[in-house]
Structure 1
Amino acid sequence: MKKPKDIIIKKNNKIDLPKIINSEVNLLVFPFFALERKNKKLETIYKDIVKRGDQKIEIVWNVSANTKYGYPGLFDREVHKAIEQIITELLKKEGKIKNPIPLGSLYNICRRMGINESAGKNYRMIKKALERIRTTAIKSVGTFYSKEGKQWVDDNFSLYDRIVFKGKELPNNEIADNNYLFLGSWYLQNLNSFYIKPIDYDYLQSLKSKIASRLYEILGVKFYGLRDKRQNFICYRYSKLCQLLPVTPHEYISLAKQQLDPGNNELKETDFISKYEWSENGKEDWLIYYWPGERAKEEMKRAEIKSINNWTEKYLSEAKPVCVRTHTGREEVKIFSKDLSACEHTQAEQADLVGKLVKLNVSKVTAENLIKNNDQELIKKWIEAINYSNADDKAAYLVKAIRENWQFPEEYLREIKE
């Protein structure tokens, strides 16, 4: 088989890989590959309640592994990225993907992945990874969006439909002279409808943290939706973000920060995000705010994803995770969401508090800083309690009382008890 003209084998035995690869949008939004090496789960379940038209419906994203092959993990994710490179090259050359896709030799797949191409162990691992992805089923109930059909799909399917290794028999009874991959129909259809987002492959490969690389995929889609909005940041509940990555959530914010901040910091240091902030918000769960950096803004200029704002907000709306134990004893995480995004609700509350503080002669900048750094319930109480103070400069008194967590005036405490 002739090598595509845009693939060059360098003298240093490395393929000149495409700098930009195309990833299908649904697979950037929803979790498929496990990020934790020790994770022995066989299933990922995502549930959400959304409003479509005049109805509230439950949508489901379920990824279930074959018990024989196991759940797709980090190595499988890298193999799939190599497949995405090949898909990108074919789309560029042919303008369309047709089954079967010639993958080339396992030797060249190793090169694409940057691993030892002479190790027989790696060949076996790649074969197992392809088989594992092939046997992993996706159940979509109103989650997977078909661009061509302009509809949310209710179906059970796989990313890969069939794999034929070199020397094995093809559907037409011929013996394969190459390694061939047949893509699943829904995946293939969206690729050919260009329901894809460009991914900077060089940058993705440079990220040391797997959490950073997954956040890069998720945030890249979400940041794109900021173009038509006044706000210049996005936010997630910690528990929700854990399900999208996916990783196991922690009970304490100190451990949560230890878990996510190495990835957050790497994205900040490489200018994909300009900053991020945690907010305890006086609740059991926490919010994480992200602002796009120059790298993300540049990607937004290059990307051409049509109609993305019509559906990503529904997928990324607020959800509450509930751990349940199945009859097999395995824990699953099921997610049920409210109609209104937690972030949108929180932003509305914060804007209202800022307005109330400004009316009390607190500057807008100071008010915003108070809300970011202090418990909102405390601020609400002090907005009421300040009326029971005899301070000459009530604005200054209020700011200091909130920052230093002063005791409320006795008259206010008597009033609320009554």
Structure 2
Amino acid sequence: MGYFTPSSTRIREILTKEKRIAEITHSDGSITILKVRILASGEYGLPTTRDLDYYRAFLKLLEETISRDGVFPEPIRLPTKTLIHYAGKQVSQKEVREVKNWIRRLHHTGIVGHVYNAQRGAYDELSGEPLFAKYRLRGQRLENNRMAETNYVWLASWFIKNYWHHYLRPIDFAFHKRLRKPIAKSLYPLLETGWYASNGQPYAKSYRDLCQEFLLTVHRAPSLIKQQLDPAHEELYREHFLAQWVYRKSTDKSDYIITYWPGEKFFQDQQARLERRERAAQLAKKAETASRPALAATTEGTLPSRYLLAEILEVCGDRQNQAAYFRLIQHYPEDLIRMALFETQQADREGRIKKSKGAYFTDTLKRLAHP
């Protein structure tokens, strides 16, 4: 949604950022443009790529907590030194203050407009909700009247739903930490998403659109445009994420179009994802010959199977096919089912589903199991 903006002195006085996120064509031919606005507080300003460093660290900490405890924590403990370490920074009084301000900033920054709800497979309209619905810093009093021994945050419900439904594109956290240019940090997810959607083909972006999304100063002279963007391009090139970039004038000569070619690292990352799918398929083949506890067709199944069925129904939406989904749960391993669910959600977001989400999910599951 363009929540984080490349750090610069220019954005200090900018408190509102708007981005077009989707275009919906209705049956009568009319078009609805969905937008989202990021509203900053005057005291803390808009979230920047420096905040993105701590956000990535937060996601790593959240994933570790869920893997260890098996449940989604409420609230989430955010030890200051752990966040600083995960963000690739050195512990200092300055960074301790940065962590506190990062928590405050993500609480005081409102989101107005449309945000994708992976649970429903549609867009919800928010009216100013922040990412951190509530927080307590170390030393502040909790609701049970105890003093907080560390930082705590309560996440917005829309984030929790999307997290549980895997609406977060995985990133190379170590790679992100190596990047030093703010524009490079913002280009990384933008280009990765563009190349993924185009199946590794070159991705083109209007210079003016890029400036609007990143809140950059718009230049007219090619030399100034290159001076502005090429340090980030060169950093991504050195990391083998970007292979080539070319500037050309738009057809009406009022703008420049930048075309980006993916580098070796992008294809390596895609290959790694493909190998994970293949490993899951191998697990599925083994599962065909292994004995598995049968789910009684006339019962609701075990507690884990009911949770998994609920997720399938939330994604596919066709409750009349519960019995068929029970048979899939009985036949295929959970990891493979979740992978097929993720693929179905991605295809739905990209408008690639021609029939129903249930049919797409079932076909995808079988394709992953029998590549």
What's the TM-score, normalizing by structure 1? 0.61
Report the alpha carbon displacement of residue 45 of structure 1 after superposing the two structures with TM: 1.5
Alignment-derived partner of residue 208 in structure 1: 180
The runs of 5 or more residues in structure 1 that have no matched partner are 1-25, 315-418
Alignment-derived partner of residue 205 in structure 2: 236
Match of 1:116 among 60, 77, 90: 90
Alignment-derived partner of residue 75 in structure 2: 100
Question: Are the structure 2 counterparts of residues 115 and 269 from structure 1 closer, same or farther at C-alpha, using a change threshold of 3 Å?
Answer: closer
Provide the C-alpha distance between the structure 2 equivalents of 1:33 and 1:274, rounded to a whole number of angstroms.
Answer: 24
Report the alpha carbon displacement of residue 150 of structure 1 after superposing the two structures with TM: 0.8
2:132 maps to amino acid: Y
Report the alpha carbon displacement of residue 109 of structure 1 after superposing the two structures with TM: 2.4
Report the alpha carbon displacement of residue 204 of structure 1 after superposing the two structures with TM: 1.2
Contact 1:97–1:191 under 8 Å retained in 2: no
Alignment-derived partner of residue 103 in structure 2: 130
Instruction: Between the two structures, name the one with larger relative contact order (CA 8 Å, sep ≥ 6).
Output: 1
Provide the C-alpha distance between the structure 2 equivalents of 1:145 and 1:48, rounded to a whole number of angstroms.
Answer: 9
Provide the C-alpha distance between the structure 2 equivalents of 1:68 and 1:149, rounded to a whole number of angstroms.
Answer: 35
Question: Are the structure 2 counterparts of residues 68 and 86 from structure 1 closer, same or farther at C-alpha, using a change threshold of 3 Å?
Answer: same
Task: After superposition, give the CA deviation of every residue in 1:3-27 in whole Å (9 maximum; x if it has no partner).
Answer: xxxxxxxxxxxxxxxxxxxxxxx5x
What's the TM-score, normalizing by structure 2? 0.68
- SS of the equivalent of 1:291 reads strand
Provide the C-alpha distance between the structure 2 equivalents of 1:197 and 1:180, rounded to a whole number of angstroms.
Answer: 25
Contact 1:222–1:312 under 8 Å retained in 2: no
Contact 2:11–2:215 under 8 Å retained in 1: no
2:113 maps to amino acid: S
Match of 1:62 among 32, 37, 53: 37
- SS of the equivalent of 1:68 reads coil
Q: Does 1:161 align with 2:161?
A: no
Task: After superposition, give the CA deviation of every residue in 1:197-217 in whole Å (9 maximum; x if it has no partner).
Answer: 111111111123221121111
Provide the C-alpha distance between the structure 2 equivalents of 1:75 and 1:232, rounded to a whole number of angstroms.
Answer: 30
Contact 2:87–2:177 under 8 Å retained in 1: no
Provide the C-alpha distance between the structure 2 equivalents of 1:253 and 1:153, rounded to a whole number of angstroms.
Answer: 40
Alignment-derived partner of residue 145 in structure 1: 116
Contact 2:53–2:177 under 8 Å retained in 1: no
2:160 maps to amino acid: L
Report the alpha carbon displacement of residue 309 of structure 1 after superposing the two structures with TM: 4.9
Provide the C-alpha distance between the structure 2 equivalents of 1:278 and 1:176, rounded to a whole number of angstroms.
Answer: 53
Report the alpha carbon displacement of residue 80 of structure 1 after superposing the two structures with TM: 1.9
Contact 2:136–2:148 under 8 Å retained in 1: yes
More helix, by proportion: 2
Contact 1:33–1:72 under 8 Å retained in 2: yes
Task: After superposition, give the CA deviation of every residue in 1:277-326 in whole Å (9 maximum; x if it has no partner).
Answer: 11114421111111212211122234465333544689xxxxxxxxxxxx
Contact 2:6–2:186 under 8 Å retained in 1: no
- SS of the equivalent of 2:142 reads coil
Provide the C-alpha distance between the structure 2 equivalents of 1:149 and 1:95, rounded to a whole number of angstroms.
Answer: 24
The runs of 5 or more residues in structure 2 that have no matched partner are 274-338, 353-371
Aligned length: 279
Contact 1:168–1:176 under 8 Å retained in 2: yes
**Higher mean Cα deviation, 40-49 or 192-201?**
40-49
Q: Which runs of 4+ in 1 moved over 6 A?
A: none
Match of 2:263 among 264, 281, 293: 293
Question: Are the structure 2 counterparts of residues 49 and 81 from structure 1 closer, same or farther at C-alpha, using a change threshold of 3 Å?
Answer: closer
Provide the C-alpha distance between the structure 1 equivalents of 2:63 and 2:55, rounded to a whole number of angstroms.
Answer: 12
Task: After superposition, give the CA deviation of every residue in 1:376-417 in whole Å (9 maximum; x if it has no partner).
Answer: xxxxxxxxxxxxxxxxxxxxxxxxxxxxxxxxxxxxxxxxxx
Task: After superposition, give the CA deviation of every residue in 1:342-374 in whole Å (9 maximum; x if it has no partner).
Answer: xxxxxxxxxxxxxxxxxxxxxxxxxxxxxxxxx
Contact 1:215–1:245 under 8 Å retained in 2: no
Provide the C-alpha distance between the structure 2 equivalents of 1:103 and 1:215, rounded to a whole number of angstroms.
Answer: 27
Contact 2:84–2:95 under 8 Å retained in 1: yes
Q: Which has the larger radius of gyration?
A: 1
Contact 2:248–2:256 under 8 Å retained in 1: yes
**Higher mean Cα deviation, 186-195 or 87-96?**
87-96
Report the alpha carbon displacement of residue 49 of structure 1 after superposing the two structures with TM: 7.3
Alignment-derived partner of residue 356 in structure 1: none
Q: Does 1:43 align with 2:16?
A: yes
Any residues of structure 2 matched to 1:203-352 within 5 Å, and which? 203-227=175-199, 232-282=201-251, 283-303=253-273, 306=343, 307-311=345-349
1:308 maps to amino acid: Q
Question: Are the structure 2 counterparts of residues 310 and 246 from structure 1 closer, same or farther at C-alpha, using a change threshold of 3 Å?
Answer: farther
Report the alpha carbon displacement of residue 254 of structure 1 after superposing the two structures with TM: 2.3
Question: Are the structure 2 counterparts of residues 312 and 96 from structure 1 closer, same or farther at C-alpha, using a change threshold of 3 Å?
Answer: farther
2:155 maps to amino acid: L
Q: Does 1:80 align with 2:49?
A: no
